[in-house]
Amino acid sequence: MLVLILFLIIGSILVYISKYNFTPVSVNLGVLVVSDVPLFYVIVGSILFGLILSYLAYLIHSVSNSFTIRGKDKEIKKNKDEVLELTKNVHQLELENEKLEHDSGTKSEDPNAL
């Protein structure tokens, strides 16, 4: 419903602009010269061209961000795997330490231990 209302408002604005801007103008596009084009068409064409260029710039920026995020996700996954491997290693060393303490019968007192 909101889209329909926006289309009606934009359409009304375009009708108002076209009603008062129908004087023929000449458009120079470098080598190409187009004459007797209504000013309304030049205005609408300029707006559409600007919207298309801004959409392309947004699209390029969005693709660039998605590649950056994909690289960061891969880095996070690699670091999580490394943390998991180190945690397994620490656990294995703790088990080995407990086994050595039971075999020797003496318990070392470490004031810095957790």
The reply to whether 108 falls in a domain is no
Q: Residues 56, 59, 65, 71: what is their CA dihedral angle, to the nearest 10 degrees?
A: -110
What is the Cα 7 distance to its own chain's centre? 28
Q: In which domain, by residue range, is 44 found?
A: 2-101
13-28, pLDDT tens digit by residue? Answer: 888 888 888 899 999 9
Q: How confident is the model at residue 59 (pLDDT cuts 50, 70, 90)?
A: very high
Tell me: pLDDT of 37 over 80. yes
The reply to whether 84 falls in a domain is yes
Q: 32 or 111: whose pLDDT is higher? A: 32
The reply to whether 114 falls in a domain is no
- In DSSP terms, 29 is beta-bridged to 32
The reply to whether 110 falls in a domain is no
Taking the C-alpha atoms of residue 13 and residue 45, their distance in angstroms, rounded to an integer, is: 15
The reply to whether 112 falls in a domain is no
pTM: 0.60
**Is-contact 54 48, C-beta < 8 A?**
no
Taking the C-alpha atoms of residue 110 and residue 108, their distance in angstroms, rounded to an integer, is: 6
Tell me: pLDDT of 32 over 80. yes
Domain count, the chain: 1
The residues near 38 (Cβ < 8 Å, ≥ 6 apart) are 18, 21, 22, 23, 24, 25
